[in-house]
Amino acid sequence: MTPTEVVDRLLPARLQARASSEQFAPSNIALCKYWGKRERSLNLPVNASLSVSLDHLGSHTRLTPIDAKQDEIRFNGRPLPLHAAFSQRVTAFIDLFRRQQPLYFRVETRNTIPTAAGLASSASGFAALTLALNDALGLELEPRLLSVLARLGSGSACRSLFDGFVEWRMGRRADGLDSHAVALEARWPGLCVGLVKVDTAQKAVDSRAGMQRTLETAHLYQSWPLQAAADLEKLHRAIAQQDFALLGQTAEQNALSMHATMIASWPPLLYWQPQSVAMMQTVWALRGQGVPLYFTMDAGPNLKLLFERPQRDAVLRHFPELEIVEPFATG
């Protein structure tokens, strides 16, 4: 089944651009990672995953209908040519909705988190674009279906439609209609996520290419789905019991296990930089001194530290440039 066939099941045949729309979606950091696809064109995952959203860090997208024969794309305040990689992904996603209808938009996206640096900017970007299309086209789709559609743009985007803890259910259906994210009711006041920005430049190998290389060439990958399933269960227990040690240990081991499969691929895929390893060793040293501090990493060199509010000053003494987000500070 193709993405267009899936969209045909969810949207009316004829659409009309009703109004401009501006939407925001948060970036998210996976505590149990999504790494590998059982079906590539629909971004259907090999395993379920669980994330926490990053509050105000993410993507703002404004969609304005225009009387033209092609879209106009602006990113972080500057126009982009339609042949640029970012523009091509955006217009291809909008194509899924318009399906040959003469509906064109000015798309203005502004990220408050570095782009293509392993900080989940594509997730927030496609989630915000999905919300804007839903509003501008007057679709009024329920969150579950919006999550399915956002997943077609970027797998992790299905989680960025929600705040707090979010689980992406892997699903079993060939059409992917049961593969979507759901927000967990649990909240964790005082939980902190700190962003260690080792290198915010665009990655040489993007996540899509990286996970496909891993799946095809790393024998170690065969154990990944079992690891992810066990970790997901532990994270649910940790969240339910507010057990920070279990949350941190599970998230850190899950991230290192994912990176181990990358390193075992061929050619080897190593996103770490020397400073990444140095920061890991700092975390381990602090934990050895009694500071409850853990890290996770997506497909990039940057670390995300996990700690609770009482440890904030101790963490900042060793990571003075840290940008700290408290996902449950409001609401």
Model pLDDT for residues 40-62, shown as the tens digit of each residue = 999 999 999 999 999 999 999 99
Residue from 263, 158, 147 nearest 214 by CA? 263
CA separation for the pair 105, 284 (Å, rounded): 49
* Predicted confidence (pLDDT) at residue 200 exceeds the cutoff of 90: no
Residue 240 has pLDDT above 60, yes or no: yes
Residue position matching structure tokens 């009711």 = 185
Share of the chain above pLDDT 90, in %: 89
Residue-wise pLDDT for 8-39, tens only, equals: 999 999 999 989 999 999 999 999 999 999 99
The CATH fold of domain 3-183: Ribosomal Protein S5; domain 2 (3.30.230)
Closest CA to 117 of 232, 243, 273, 9: 273
pLDDT score, position 116: 45
- Three-class SS state of 94: helix
Domain 191-325 CATH class label:
alpha beta
Q: Is residue 103 scored above 60 in pLDDT?
A: yes
What are the tens digits of pLDDT across the range 139-172?
999 999 999 999 999 999 999 999 999 999 999 9
Query: pTM for the full model?
Result: 0.94
pLDDT for 205 beyond 60: yes
- Euclidean distance between CA atoms 308 and 326, whole angstroms: 9
pLDDT (0 to 100) of residue 117: 43
Residue pair 182/218 in contact (Cβ under 8 Å)? The answer is no
Helix orientation angle between 244-263 and 224-241, rounded to the nearest 10 degrees: 160
Quick one: pLDDT at residue 208? 86
At residue 330, the pLDDT reads: 75
Rounded distance, CA 316 to CA 308, Å? 12
DSSP H helical segments within the chain, as ranges? Answer: 3-10, 85-98, 121-136, 143-153, 207-217, 224-241, 244-263, 274-288, 312-318
Question: Which tops the pLDDT comparison, 206 or 274?
Answer: 274
Among candidate residues 296, 218, 290, 208, the one with its CA nearest the CA of residue 256: 296
The answer on pLDDT for 277 being more than 80 is: yes
Does 119 have pLDDT greater than 60?
Answer: no
Domains 3-183 and 191-325 share a fold: no
Task: Tell me the average pLDDT of the chain.
Answer: 94
Q: Please tell me the predicted confidence (pLDDT) of residue 118.
A: 45
**Confidence band for 222, pLDDT divided at 50, 70 and 90:** very high
Q: What is the pLDDT of residues 246-270, one digit of tens each?
A: 999 999 999 999 999 999 999 999 9
Give the residue extent of every domain in the chain.
Answer: 3-183, 191-325
Q: Which region holds residue 45: left if phi is over 0, alpha if psi is between -120 and 50, else beta?
A: beta
Q: What pLDDT is attached to residue 202? A: 79
Give yes or no for residue 114 having a pLDDT over 70.
no
Q: What percent of the chain has pLDDT over 70?
A: 98
